[in-house]
Amino acid sequence: MRKRTKFISILTLGAVIISVLAFFESKPTVKAGKGSDLKSQFNIIVPKLMSKFKVPGVAIAFIDKGETKWVQSYGWENIEEKKVVTDATVFQVASNSKTLTAWGIMKLVEDGKLDLDTPVEKYLTRFHLPDSKFDRNQVTIRKILSHTAGLSVRAYPGYPPGDRLPSLEDSLSGKFSKNNRVKIVFKPGVKYKYSGGGYTLLQLVIEEVTGKPFSRYMEEEILRPLGMENSSFEWRTDVQEKTAKAYDVLGFPLPNYLFTEKAAAGLYTTAPDFAKFVTANMDIPKGDLVRSNLLQKSTLSLMHTPGKKDYGLGYIIKSLPNGHRLIYHGGSNRGWRSQFALLPEIGKGLVVLTNSENGYKFHRDLVSLWTKFETGYYPYFHLIDVTLRVLIKTLTVIIVFFLVINISLSVKKIMKHKQLITIMNKQRSSGNNPMIVVKVIIPLFSSFLWWIAFYTGLLYNGWTFASFMPDGFFRLTLAVFAWSLFEFFKEIFVPE
C-alpha cells in the first residue's frame, strides 16, 4: 500500500511539474501586434537567447519582398581576441552547403548535361559505388538530392587544419576512414535517409561532367552570378582572415575543421551573401532578373516540392495552417550552426549564422519566433522542441526533488548514529563484501560514461550529442552528477 501511495505521489508530482513547465515554455516570446517591428523585437530577444544558450557570435539577415531589409550582428567573432561579429564576418554554414550544391546540379540539368533520373553511375569514372545486394542503377541524381538513394554517411566531422586532406575518391571509398565510405545501405527510392555521402558523390558528378574542380564550378556558375562575392567553398587566405572562431558546446575554442567533402559541408559565407541566395529562391518580380541567369521558375518549383519526410531537392518544406510553405534547411559542423528559412508566398526570408555548437537550439528558437511573427503560426518543430524541453526539465526537477529528500534522510541517519561509517567499517560489518566497492564505483563510473557519451564526441566521429539536446540538458547533467556523488558518499559515510 505504501509503495502504491509513493508511486501515485511521484506521478502527481510529475504531472504538476509538467503542467507548470509546459505553461511557461509555450508562452510566446515575440508577439506580432499593432506597431510591432521585427528588427526591434529581434534586438531584444537575440541577446537574451544568446545569453541563455551561451552562443558567442551571431549574424542575422532579414529579407522582405526580394530585398535584404537589414543585417544585424551580435556578440563575438573571436572571444579571446575581443573581435566583434560584423557584416563581413565569415561563417561555415555546414549542411546548408547542400542546398547550394543542389543549385549547381540543377543548373547542369537545365543545361542538358545531367538527367535527374539517369543512374549516377553513368556519369562516374573516378569512383563507383561498391557492389551490394542493391541495384546501383537505381541510384539516380534525383534520389540523391532528395536523400532517398539509400546511401551511407550522414555527416562528416572534418579534418584539423594542417592535416593532409584525402582526395575526393579516397573520401568516397573510405580509404582513411571506414565511417566515410559511401555505399548503398537501403534499397534506393524506398525511404528517406539523410546522406552527406550522397552529396559528396554529387560533388564528383559535377567535376566529372564539367571537367572543373567543384569549388571553381560553384564559384563561376552559382556564387558569383548571385553576387555572393564574399563566399567560397575554399578556405582561401582572404576568407581565413574574416572567418570567425568556432566554439564547442562548453564554450571552448575549436580549430576550423576543413573538408574534402565541400558539397556536403564546406561553404564559407557571410549573412549578407547568404541572404542573396535566399532572395533568389523567391517567386517575386525583382528576383527574376537575377534568377534568369541561373535557374528557371519551373526548376525552383520542382526543388521546393516536398517528397519523403517533406524533403525536396535540397530543401525541407513544411506547410503551415494558413497554407503557406515554410522552406528551410539547417547546417551543423563542429563549432558551427546555421539556418535559413523562407516564406515564398509572402516574400519573407531569414538567415541565422552562429559560431557555436549551441547555435542549434538558438536558431531553432529564432526561426520559430520569426515564423510566428510573420504568419501567426509556429512551425511544426516548435511543439517538438517545447515538449522535449518540458520532459528534460521535469526529469531534472524530479531528480533534484528526490535528491534533496534522500540527502535529508541520510543526514538524519548520520546524526542519529553520531558517527561516520567508513567504507572499511562497512566491509568488515558485511564480511568484506566486494559488492560494497562495486556500489561505490558504479555511480561515479555512470557519470563518467554520461560525460563521454554526451560531451566528448568519442562515440560519433567527433560530434557532441549534448549540442543537439533540448534546452535544460546541461542542468539535467548536473543533476545526474549530483545524484552520482550523493550515492558515492552515501555508500561510504551513511549508516545502513
Select the more confidently predicted residue: 8 or 132.
132
Half-sphere exposure (Cβ direction) of 475: Cα atoms closer than 13 Å:
17
Q: How confident is the model at residue 6 (pLDDT cuts 50, 70, 90)?
A: low
145-168: string of b/e by CB count within 10 Å (b at 16+)?
bbbbbbbbbbbbbbbeeeeeebeb
The pLDDT of residue 23 is 54
Quote the mean pLDDT of the chain. 88
410 — pLDDT class (breaks 50, 70, 90): confident
The reply to whether 208 falls in a domain is yes
The pLDDT of residue 39 is: 87
Are residue 165 and residue 221 in the same domain, yes or no? yes
Tell me what pLDDT residue 148 has.
98
Of 294 and 224, the one with more pLDDT = 224
Written as nine digits, the cell of 451 is 560525460
Give which of 381, 379, 372 is closest to 32, Cα–Cα: 372
Range of the domain at 254: 48-378
- Whether 442 is in a domain gets the answer yes
**What mean pLDDT is predicted for residues 259-276?**
97
Burial grade of 368 (CB within 10 A; 0-12, 13-18, 19 or more): buried
Query: 35 and 43 in contact (C-beta within 8 Å)?
Result: no
CA of residue 373 relative to chain centroid, distance: 23
Residue 130 lies in a domain: yes
Number of domains making up the chain: 2
For the segment 62-75, what is each residue's pLDDT rounded down to a tens digit? 999 878 999 999 99
Q: Would you say residue 43 lies in a domain?
A: no
Mean pLDDT for 410-420 is 69
What Å distances lie between residue 150 and 96, 155, 195, 317, 373, CA to CA? 20, 14, 8, 20, 38
Beta strands (DSSP E) in 65-187 are: 67-78, 83-84, 91-92
Q: What is the pLDDT confidence band of residue 436, given thresholds at 50, 70 and 90?
A: low
What pLDDT, on a 0 to 100 scale, did the predictor assign at position 32?
Answer: 42
Quickly list H helices, 111-195.
141-145, 168-173
Q: Which residues contact 405 (CB under 8 A, 6 or more apart)?
A: none
What cell does 477 get?
Answer: 547533467
Mean pLDDT of 227-244: 95
Structural domain includes residue 3: no
Q: What is the pLDDT of residue 432?
A: 54
**Mean pLDDT, to the nearest integer, of 333-354?**
96
Are 342 and 423 contained in the same domain?
no
How far from 354 is each of 73, 334, 363, 385, 470, CA to CA, in Å? Answer: 10, 12, 8, 19, 17
pLDDT of 444 reads 86
- 397 and 374 part of one domain: no
Q: What is the pLDDT of residues 443-462, one digit of tens each?
A: 888 899 999 999 998 888 78
Q: In terms of domains, do 314 and 176 share one?
A: yes
In a domain? residue 33:
no
Q: Do 326 and 213 belong to one domain? A: yes
pLDDT at 45: 93
Euclidean distance between CA atoms 327 and 349, whole angstroms: 9
In a domain, residue 187? The reply is: yes
Residue at which a domain ends, from 378, 407, 440: 378
DSSP3 helix / strand / coil % (the chain, rounded to 5): 50, 15, 35
pLDDT at 35: 45
Where are any strands of DSSP class E within 278-379?
Answer: 316-319, 325-333, 336-343, 348-354
What's the average model confidence in pLDDT over 149-155? Answer: 96
Q: Given a cut of 80, is residue 16 above it in pLDDT?
A: no
Query: Are 63 and 207 contained in the same domain?
Result: yes
Amino acid letter at 76? W
